[in-house]
């Protein structure tokens, strides 16, 4: 197996300055998005000359002309929860070439009992916390937890087409529905009113067929009517990801409805639902998923939103924001471990859950495990836990590489041997890791095709997906487990699954999660 063996499970935790993969940790000032950029009022991106250096030359406009650009500046208050508790102040400036934001915590939030940092790289100090992004890389212009509330490519495309021009990052943020934005943060004007465009109400179950038709029309009809476009943008403009989708009121619970795309050559929605349910059966804490209109040619996948609960909103961070990374930066599972060790609730259980997700990703050939597809929910006391696993997309023809690598030592190759050998980084003994692996192998072998068939996949479609669930890494995993069982003595007992991991119930990930109601 590759590389030298990592330190054993009984070691002390790495110091705050050194990561589990041997690199240096990124400090609060090393966060993504140009954290070292000047404050908008200091940077003065609207000026293009230096004092005392002759006459100012006008900055070229976005169209290449020589007309000076007047920076667009906006100021919004950042609040949290149903009662709109004041968290801070966000100032934003866009000169057409660079976008800059500066966030300051409110003194009332800094003094509040139970206040927590919105992200590890936004510590509870007055600030300002500055981010910037240039044309072509503007998503780093907002602090991570605020950027996480902006839409991704699907929602952005809808909003841009509805506005008829490319919005800046703040416009994307404020164009999304306040009711359905991801996480617990809200953005209010000087009167205390939440900012968002005036969108239609969140659709219900009997609206699904119409939403599906609207999503299909958006993909196929460039001349889609303004009213229909606005309706779809209102329902889907707050969502991440690239695939067609919409928010959905599922009997009082907020959910996401994912639609089949005209570009699909495979039953993507069916296999995603089947795989999420397979993950839960294998012991992972995964998002709840089911199919609506399962008998139709274009079924709808319903994924329950896990940033809502008991009537309140849960603060959410993507792993990208948890690590303070730019969108273009990748990462490793050991980076996430470092952050969990410093900011996680019950990190031992969380690290085991993360290792199980890594092994499951390899075993089902998931190609979508990038940092935006790992998430965290705030628990209490400024500590975070892994959000349920989501967006698990098996690829039968995938190359054996991970979007998020195991570690700098083991790299990005989707190797089950490397995952087991990296176990001590996750505070796991080889026996424990192999026991978890054996359970997953058994569940996947017995249930993957059954769950695919239950999701409405045909025999031909199931056969086409077999290479995603039954491949060379499966054989290697079986050999590893067999070797471990062969050397296990009678005194050491059989390899069994831990009692707290049955049927997808993970105490550390599901217990004591806190919604923000006040």
List the one residue out of 17, 4, 15 whose CA is nearest residue 422: 4
Pick from 389, 343, 321, 424: which is nearest to 3 by CA? 424
Q: Higher pLDDT residue, 515 or 51?
A: 515
| DSSP codes of every residue in 351-365 | HHHHHHHHHHHHHTT
Query: Angle CA(130)–CA(133)–CA(138) in degrees, nearest 5?
Result: 125
Rounded to the nearest 5°, which phi and psi values hold at 384? -125, 155
The answer to whether 289 touches 273, Cβ cutoff 8 Å, is yes
Buried b (16+ CB within 10 A) or exposed e, 490-502: eeeeebebeeebe
pLDDT at 10: 38
Average pLDDT, rounded, for the chain:
83
Range 119-147 average pLDDT: 93
Q: Which two tokens stand for residue 274?
A: 């089947």
Q: Does residue 75 register a pLDDT over 90?
A: yes
What's the token pair of residue 219?
């993909």
All domains of the chain, ordered by start, with CATH?
29-45+69-188 (no CATH), 205-308 (3.30.200.120), 312-510 (1.10.1070)
Count CA atoms closer than 13 A to 215's CA, side-chain side: 27
pTM of the model: 0.82
Q: Is the dihedral of CA 464, 466, 468, 472 positive or negative?
A: negative
Q: Could you give the residue ranges of the DSSP H alpha helices within 91-195? A: 107-110, 144-147, 153-163, 169-175
Asked if residues 144 and 320 have their Cβ atoms less than 8 Å apart, the reply is yes
pLDDT, tens digit, 9 for 90 and up, residues 210-249:
888 888 888 888 777 777 777 776 666 566 666 888 888 9
Range in 27-31, 67-71, 372-376, 398-402 with the lowest mean pLDDT = 27-31
- DSSP lists the bridge partners of residue 384 as 344, 378
Q: How confident is the model at residue 496 (pLDDT cuts 50, 70, 90)?
A: low
333, 415 Cβ separation under 8 angstroms: no
pLDDT tens column, 411-430: 999 999 999 999 999 999 99
Per-residue pLDDT, 207: 85
Q: Taking Cα atoms as reference points, which of 315, 293, 311 lies closest to residue 302?
A: 293
Average pLDDT over residues 39-54: 41
Question: Which residue pairs from 325-330 have beta carbons closer than 8 angstroms and sit at least 24 positions apart in sequence?
Answer: 325/32, 325/371, 326/32, 326/33, 326/137, 326/140, 327/32, 327/137, 327/139, 327/140, 327/372, 328/137, 329/32, 329/371, 330/370, 330/371, 330/403, 330/404, 330/405
Q: Within 13 Å, how many C-alpha atoms sit on residue 464's CB side?
A: 11
Rounded to an integer, the average pLDDT of 503-516 is 46
Neighbours of 25 (CB within 10 A): 18
Supply 130's token pair.
Answer: 């500055």
The string of pLDDT tens digits covering residues 94-118 is: 998 999 999 999 999 999 999 999 9
Cβ partners under 8 Å of residue 8, min gap 6 = 424
Note the pLDDT tens digit of each residue in 34-45.
444 445 544 433
Q: What is the mean pLDDT of residues 237-263?
A: 82
Q: Is the pLDDT of residue 511 over 70?
A: no
Average pLDDT over residues 495-505: 45
């Amino acid at each position: 197996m590759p590389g030298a063996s990592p330190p054993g499970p009984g070691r002390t935790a790495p110091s705050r300055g050194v990561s589990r993969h041997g690199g240096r940790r990124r400090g609060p000032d090393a966060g993504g998005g140009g954290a070292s950029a000047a404050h908008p009022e200091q940077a003065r991106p609207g000026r293009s000359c230096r004092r005392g250096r002759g006459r100012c030359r006008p900055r070229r406009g976005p169209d290449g002309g020589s007309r000076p650009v007047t920076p667009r500046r906006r100021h919004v208050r950042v609040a949290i929860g149903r009662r709109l508790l004041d968290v801070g102040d966000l100032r934003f400036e866009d000169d057409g070439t660079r976008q800059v934001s500066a966030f300051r915590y409110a003194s009332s939030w800094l003094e509040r009992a139970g206040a927590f940092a919105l992200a590890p790289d936004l510590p509870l100090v007055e600030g300002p916390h500055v981010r910037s992004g240039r044309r072509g890389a503007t998503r780093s212009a907002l602090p991570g937890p605020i950027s996480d509330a902006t839409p991704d490519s699907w929602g952005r495309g809808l909003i841009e087409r509805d506005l008829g021009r490319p919005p800046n990052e703040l416009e994307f943020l404020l164009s999304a529905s306040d009711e359905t934005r991801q996480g617990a943060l809200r953005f209010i004007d000087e009167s205390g009113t939440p900012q968002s465009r005036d969108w239609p109400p969140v659709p219900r179950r009997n609206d699904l067929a119409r939403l599906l038709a609207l999503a299909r029309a958006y993909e196929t009809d460039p001349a889609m009517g303004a009213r229909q476009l606005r309706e779809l943008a209102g329902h889907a403009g707050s969502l991440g990801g690239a695939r067609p989708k919409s928010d959905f009121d599922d009997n009082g619970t907020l959910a996401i409805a994912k639609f089949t795309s005209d570009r699909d050559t495979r039953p993507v929605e069916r296999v995603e639902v089947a795989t999420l349910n397979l993950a839960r059966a294998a012991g992972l804490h995964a998002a709840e998923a089911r199919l609506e209109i399962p008998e139709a040619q274009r079924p709808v996948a319903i994924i329950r939103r896990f940033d809502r609960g008991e009537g309140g909103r849960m603060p959410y961070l993507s792993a990208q924001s948890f690590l303070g990374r730019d969108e273009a930066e990748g990462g490793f599972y050991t980076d996430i471990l470092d952050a969990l060790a410093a900011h996680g609730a019950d990190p031992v259980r969380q690290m085991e859950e993360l290792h199980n997700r890594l092994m499951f990703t390899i075993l089902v050939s998931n190609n979508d495990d990038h940092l935006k597809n790992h998430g965290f929910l705030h628990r209490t006391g400024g500590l975070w836990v892994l959000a349920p696993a989501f967006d698990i997309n098996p690829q039968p023809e995938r190359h054996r590489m991970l979007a998020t690598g195991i570690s700098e030592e083991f790299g990005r190759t989707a190797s089950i041997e490397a995952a087991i050998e990296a176990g001590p980084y996750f505070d796991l003994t080889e026996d424990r890791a192999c026991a978890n692996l054996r359970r997953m192998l058994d569940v996947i072998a017995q249930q993957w095709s059954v769950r695919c068939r239950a999701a409405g996949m045909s025999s031909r479609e199931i056969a086409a997906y077999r290479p995603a669930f039954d491949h060379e890494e499966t054989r290697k995993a079986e050999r590893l487990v067999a070797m471990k069982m062969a050397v296990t003595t009678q005194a050491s007992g059989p390899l069994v699954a831990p009692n707290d991991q049955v049927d997808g119930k993970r105490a550390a990930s599901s217990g004591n999660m806190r919604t923000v109601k006040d």
